[in-house]
Amino acid sequence: MYHATVVPGHPSPYQTRFQPTESKPPQAVRLTNREKEFLQWSEVGKSSWEIAMIVDCSEANVNYHFNNIRRKFGVSSRHLAGKIAREQGLI
Residue 72: count of CB within 10 angstroms of its CB: 17
- Which residues, given as ranges, of the chain have pLDDT below 70? 1-27
Residue 85 has a pLDDT of: 93
Residue 39's closest CA among 25, 29, 27, 26? Answer: 29
Measured CA distances, 8 to 16, 40, 48, 83 (Å):
14, 57, 57, 49
The CATH code of the domain at 33-88 is 1.10.10.10
Q: Domain ranges in the chain?
A: 33-88
Residue 38's closest CA among 75, 64, 12? Answer: 64
35 and 65 Cβ atoms separated by less than 8 Å: yes
